[in-house]
Amino acid sequence: MIELVLGGARSGKSRYAEQQAMACGLQVIYLATAEAGDAEMHRRIEHHRQRRPAKWQTLEEPIQLAAVLQQHAHPDCCVLVDCLTLWLCNVLFDKQGQLQEAVFAEQRTALLDTLGQCQGQIIMVSNEVGMGVVAADAMTRRFVDEAGFLHQALAQICDRVTLVTAGLPQQLK
């Protein structure tokens, strides 16, 4: 079973996904995609770490998401990926903010191809960023567009899609 959990910033999407993982009764692998580039991001990551049960295995992989899923997605395991939008930033832009088309295309294709072959339970968390105004700069517009296209492609593959707003999960699929 593959679930996509969408929501805005501070919507409760990660907490909901963690509750789903705890309730499944399987061994949980938490696959973190964030990198602490500044003190505020470090605090966010630490907050997530403290909330997770100690028995969960944590893997950190900012780019090679498909490879890690291939290695760890098994019938007796739940892999919780948090979050796809940070992963998208990591593969779409390099550390200097330059577009890296080849890396993005390769990693996006690998993720979509891999998900169809995975066994076990996979829960992926992502930010719904396309509900606001059109951004003024090209870089942000590209990110929002690619996030929307990625979510649409994932929604076709996923067994369940949940939108979390104000801590309330709404089943879309």
Residues taking part in catalysis:
48
Task: Please report, for residues 49, 76, 122, 152, the alpha-carbon distance to residue 92 in angstroms, rounded to integers and kept in the order given.
Answer: 26, 32, 23, 17
| Full strand arrangement of the beta sheet holding 57-60 | 57-60, 27-32, 77-82, 121-127, 2-7, 160-165, 168-171
Using a 10 angstrom Cβ sphere, with 0-12 exposed, 13-18 middle and 19 or more buried, the burial of residue 161 is buried
Amino acid at site 131:
M
